[in-house]
Amino acid sequence: MRWYFFRLPALCAVAALLDLDAYRVGQWMLSRPIVLGPLLGGCLGKFGVGTWVGGTLELLTLDDLPIGHCVPLNSAVAVASTLLLFAGKPRVELAAAFPAGLLLGLLFRQIEIALRSRCHYLVQEADLAIDRGRAPSGWLIARGICTHAAASACFLYVGIVVAGPVLASGWSFLPFKFRTALDLALQGAPWLGLTTLLYVFRLR
Amino acid sequence: MARPDHVVVRFSITMKMDFRTQCRMFVRSLFIQGAWDYERAQGLGFAWCLDPWLKGLYPRGGQELKNARQRHMEYFNTQPYMAGIVLGAAARMEESAARHPTPALENRIVQVKKSMEAALAGIGDPLFWGAWRPLCAALAMALVFALPTAHQRPVVFGVVVYLILYNILAQWFRWSGIRWGYEFGEQVAERLKRLDLQRSLRRIRYSGLILAAFAVIATVAVPILRGGAGALWPVFVRGSLLLMCLAMKRMRWTALRAYGALTALAIGAALALP
């Protein structure tokens, strides 16, 4: 109970606040997996796993760039959901939590697109305010930021609450060979990250 | 001496780009993407950043202030660290427009903004997202692996180094850009050429490539040096995996797709093996 009513909401709130840094506020790279992984891992008592997940996801998402109108996979949601699934109750094996985290990060991308479209109403309010001789209010920007934070916190919470028990029980029913295969794929993830690092710096 | 009739003194402009004003613009520029949308992108954020400056230029408000605000509510999108340059340049041009208002100058402000946003995005995106961020991440990871791993300190050290190193350049650009844009106005692009950012970008990329190459050699070849001939098979497997992943990147597969392919391959291998 303590997990669902105190720890999980608090950690989802922390991850959601740091996720704001990815796009909305500051861009100080606090939302990057290499920072969020060890941080959340430390909070969950799984510092080593958090570092591994954070480092691997950082490399995997190095070339997923937020250029123009492009919305990349949300790496903050991906790393947070992987760690919360792994360290939560019920505990999900990392081999299942990692791809689930990637999927949740991709799913949140759709929500992010919807949130950006909704900000159109804030712009309309700003236009009205200017027409009436007032300044575009900072509260409109604050509303955009708060909506994003609330959406990512809720998404993380609901995602963990729904996916956690499903993945944990599904893992136990999975044939041994499939479990081994998922473990092997997980071991290959850092290599995929290493090739992404090589590819990002390729001579052009 | 009496003032000629054709000279209209509207008001005295007391705004100046001092440290306090630059601070205020800098802090506001941190939220420039707070209400990003598909129609105006950073438009609302830009107008909000520039608003204290505009209120200073037109303290009595009126139609000029309204027009200035509407000018800057239009579509605007650039790399967030480079937005400070456009803010400074817009502040400079608005100051000129407030002193000598003409429709041509007011239109020029909008045109200059549009030309600068794409050019600066073309500099900022490859520099920060494509080169500096990966290099800082690679350096941090190299530090983590190079330092003794008795406990958590190397990781914390690596993360702190990553954040400090990255933000020294990024936030310096965001801060200084406001001053550059204000001092040089439309000519800021010419001044930016003197920084020779393309050469810096090449140096960052070469440094990153060397780091990445060392990482590959360390993970693939070092086991041979340690394990001798017995390590050949694991090295062969690792090398093959690396080449396969490189092929996936060559086909521009995203991380999720590539991981899915790895998983499918692993399931196939698991099913095929007895």
User: Smallest Cβ distance to A188: which of B40, B131, B241?
Assistant: B241
Where residue B253 falls among pLDDT bands split at 50, 70, 90? confident
Task: Give the pLDDT of residue B13.
Answer: 52
Pick from B46, B21, B166, B65: which is nearest to B116 by CA? B46
Task: Give the pLDDT of residue B12.
Answer: 45
Where residue B219 falls among pLDDT bands split at 50, 70, 90? confident
Q: What is the pLDDT of residues B9-24, one digit of tens each?
A: 444 455 678 888 999 9
User: Smallest Cβ distance to B70: which of A42, A130, A144?
Assistant: A130
- Are the Cβ atoms of A66 and B129 closer than 8 angstroms? yes
Mean pLDDT of the A93-109 span: 94
Instruction: Answer yes or no: is pLDDT of B4 > 50.
Output: no
Pick from B129, B116, B113: which is nearest to B43 by CA? B113
Determine the residue among B210, B262, B265 to mutate to test chain A binding: the one whose Cβ has the most chain A Cβ atoms within 10 Å: B262
As for the ipTM of the complex, it is 0.90
* Contacts by residues B260-265 (CB-CB < 8 Å, ≥ 24 positions apart): B260/A99, B262/A185, B262/A188, B262/A189, B262/A192, B263/A99, B263/A181, B263/A182, B263/A185, B265/A185
CA distance linking residue B125 with residue B128, whole number of Å: 6
Reduce the DSSP state of residue B76 to 3 states and report it: strand
Where residue B2 falls among pLDDT bands split at 50, 70, 90? very low
CA distance linking residue B96 with residue B243, whole number of Å: 58
Phi, psi of B41 (to 5 degrees): 55, -115
Furthest CA-CA distance within chain A: 69
Reduce the DSSP state of residue A23 to 3 states and report it: helix
Where residue A40 falls among pLDDT bands split at 50, 70, 90? very high
Mean pLDDT of the A4-12 span: 93
Which residues fall within 8 angstroms of residue B40, CB to CB, at 6 or more apart? A123, B73, B74, B75, B76
Task: Give the pLDDT of residue A11.
Answer: 95
Which of A18-32, A55-69, A112-126, B221-235 shows the lowest mean pLDDT across its residues? B221-235
CA distance linking residue B103 with residue B51, whole number of Å: 20
B203 has a chain A CB within 8 A of its CB? no
Contacts of A38 in chain B (CB under 8 A): 152, 155-156, 159
Task: Give the pLDDT of residue B17.
Answer: 80
Instruction: Answer yes or no: is pLDDT of B228 > 70.
Output: no
